Amino acid sequence: MNPADVAQSALPAFAPNLSIWTLFWQAHIVVKLVMIGLLFASVWCWAIILNKALLYKRIASAMDRFEDVFWSGQSLDELYRDLAETQPTGMGAVFLAAMTEWKRSLEGASKAFGSFAARVEKVMDVAIQRETERLNRGLMVLSNIASAGPFIGLFGTVWGIMNSFMAIAASKNTSLAVVAPGISESLFATAIGLVAAIPAVIAYNSFHARVLNLQTRLEGFADEFSAILSRQVDQRLAA
Amino acid sequence: MKIDWSEPGLPLSVTAHAVLLVASLVGLSSARPFADAEETLPVEIITADQFSSMTKGERTAKAVQPTPKPRIDKVAEVEQLKPSQGTDQKDVPTPPARAPQISDEVSAPPMPPPRPPDPVKPEPKPEPQKTVEPQKPEPPKLDAEIPKPPEKPQPQKVAKTQEPQKETEKPKPQPPQFDKIAQLLEQKKLEEETKPAKPPAKEKGEQSFSASAIEKLLVSKEKPQASGSVGAQLQKTASLGLQTGNAAKLSPSMRDALAGLLKDQVGKCFTLPPGMDETNIHQAMVRVVFNEDGSLAERPQVASASSDAGVRAIASELRGAIIRCAPYRIPAQFLPFFDQWKDTLFTPPESLG
């Protein structure tokens, strides 16, 4: 057999198959763990992004609807009765908390109007905090993935490159064909880290701004409603 | 598992990642290998000067020589007359057959004209000429054996036939009264030329039949046109070269020292023509070609292109001084750099200017 033929037929066997799958399987166990962890981080991060985007959209439209109804001149007692049957979110929850307090103040034999304004404010603050907490839930995860993802990926890369250099030292062969696959697979870890972190950064920043926006709207509504309620109290006291 | 449509993030995210992974496995499965880059050969461009001063050696050499010298194929007959080393063999005047006196004359170009009378004198007696003529073809054979391969004889024959033709042409105008004799002589010469041209090959074969000589001829594969390098000494053994890879170069300080030496020596013979304007004195330049022993290889030439009469006068005076003062004493330390000072431009010595 011609030696040239032998060399040619032997070549394909040596040529490494550099698909993403082989990159993963040939990697060191630590690098593999890093890759798997980053993959889960990415899945989680996108789940949060989708959920939060839908949630904010729902809450914003619910607020719009509630404000329309609230300022339409409908009786507040009727609105209260409608909302009490459901589990309202956003402004509805704040309104419900304030109205509940209003009802309780009226219920007793002696009407407790003395520090009503302060109490209503507190109740509404608590409701707003609860709503804001619900909006903020999960954003911490996004922020963590955004900041730590690249570092974790970098760790996998450093570990993989360290490992492949050790292998080079052991085999005493420094040709690029030997060095390249190890470096390539370890760089893959950084790539996954960046893939997970970049959407997380963008989503975290925009979601944070939206939460602040919604919170101001809630606070504004709370101030207006407490003003309305205290006016009612003053009118009743005068009457 | 039932999907909660108020929070569809997780299942959506999982499916999206799975789809992306599969797509990357199928579509982006592998990087396209680079096109095979062709091996490139590094090409270095060197000047003729660098080439001639190269002592890097040859790959086919068997050993490193203690004192490597550039390869010389043939001893130069007129030493260092021409700056270029690779002159064609046909161009080199080849008077090996001549008597020593003639070879002396060869080095002085102006001399040849008076020579034709010599062949003319013996004309009345054709016999001595015959004896002279056959002698010619013989010695060249012997010489030819030393340097070279089978192809060698051919160029030599050509050279031979050309030379006598020159000689026969020259005599023509001079002795018109000997027309017939000259014609006869020419015929005879022509006959002789054609005859002896062939015999040498035969004679050679008969004379020097030795296996080693034939082997030597067979081994050499040089083309007949190859000029070979020409130098002072034969240097047949290839050298593996020096560590530095380049021949020694004259350092600036040594160059200055040599220039000072030469100027001192010329200064003894040079006097500025009286009444000369000294402002343009440095424009006068004379080009001198030296031999290794410090004598002049050819007549110095005025190299300044100035049209100023004064400059021309100074230059010609300088040329005379250079000729008068020759040969020059050049210390042995400069000998290795002969290539670099053999061709020198002289300006008038300042101290006397």
User: Block means of pLDDT (10 residues each) for chain B, length 353 residues?
Assistant: 70 89 73 71 78 66 69 64 50 59 48 49 46 45 46 46 47 55 75 56 54 75 59 66 63 85 85 74 84 85 80 85 85 82 80 44
Give pLDDT, residue B157. Answer: 45
CB contact under 8 A, B9 and A17: no
Res A197: pLDDT: 92
In sequence order, the 6+-apart residues with CB closer than 8 A to the CB of A28 are A159, A160, A163
Name the residue range of residue B337's domain. 252-352
Instruction: Please tell me the distance from the alpha carbon of residue B258 to that of residue A196, in angstroms, as a whole number.
Output: 77
- Same domain as B267, residue B140: no
Give the mean pLDDT of A111-118. 74
The stretch A35-48 carries a mean pLDDT of 91
Residues of A with CB below 8 A from B21's CB? 20
Question: Is the Cβ–Cβ distance between B264 and B322 less than 8 Å?
Answer: no
Q: In this predicted structure, what is the pLDDT of residue A200? A: 93
Chain B residues inside the 8 Å CB shell of A47: 9-10, 12-14
Q: CA dist B17 to A20, A66, A72, B121, Å? A: 14, 37, 46, 113
pTM over 0.80: no
Residue of A21, A35, A195 to mutate for B, most B C-beta atoms under 10 A: A21
C-alpha distance from B8 to closest chain A C-alpha (Å):
6
Question: From the CA of A228, how many Å to the nearest CA of chain B?
Answer: 34
State whether B194 and B259 are in the same domain: no
Number of domains in chain B: 2
The reply to whether A46 touches chain B by the CB within 8 Å rule is yes
Chain B residues contacting A via beta carbons under 8 Å: 6-10, 12-14, 16-17, 21, 24-25, 28-31, 33
Domain span at residue A120?
19-238
Q: For residue A143, what pLDDT is reported?
A: 92
The whole-number pLDDT of residue B202 equals: 47
With tokens 């100023």, the residue in question is B308
> Worst-scoring range by mean pLDDT, A53-57, A110-114, A230-234?
A110-114
The predicted pLDDT at position B222 comes to 58
**Residue A154: pLDDT over 90:** yes
- The per-residue pLDDT for B76 is 64
pLDDT, position B22: 84
**Which run of H or E residues covers position B288?**
strand B286-289
Q: What is the reported pLDDT for A7?
A: 41
Same domain, B183 and B275: no
pLDDT for the residue numbered A38: 92
Give residues with Cβ within 8 angstroms of B347, minimum separation 6: B281, B282, B284, B285, B318
Is A19 within 8 Å of B29 when comparing Cβ atoms? yes
- CATH code assigned at B272: 3.30.1150.10
Token output for A175: 């040709």
Q: Are residues B78 and B213 in the same domain?
A: yes
Whether the ipTM is more than 0.85: the answer is no
Say what the pLDDT of residue A49 is: 92
B239 belongs to a structural domain: no
Q: Which of A145, A138, A152, A135 is closest to A202 using CA atoms? A: A145
Degrees to nearest 5, angle at CA B77 with B75 and B80: 90
Beta carbons of B7 and A51 less than 8 Å apart: yes
Residue A5 lies in a domain: no
pLDDT given at position B125: 47
* CA nearest to A51 within chain B: B9
Q: For the residues A53-59, what does the mean pLDDT come to?
A: 90
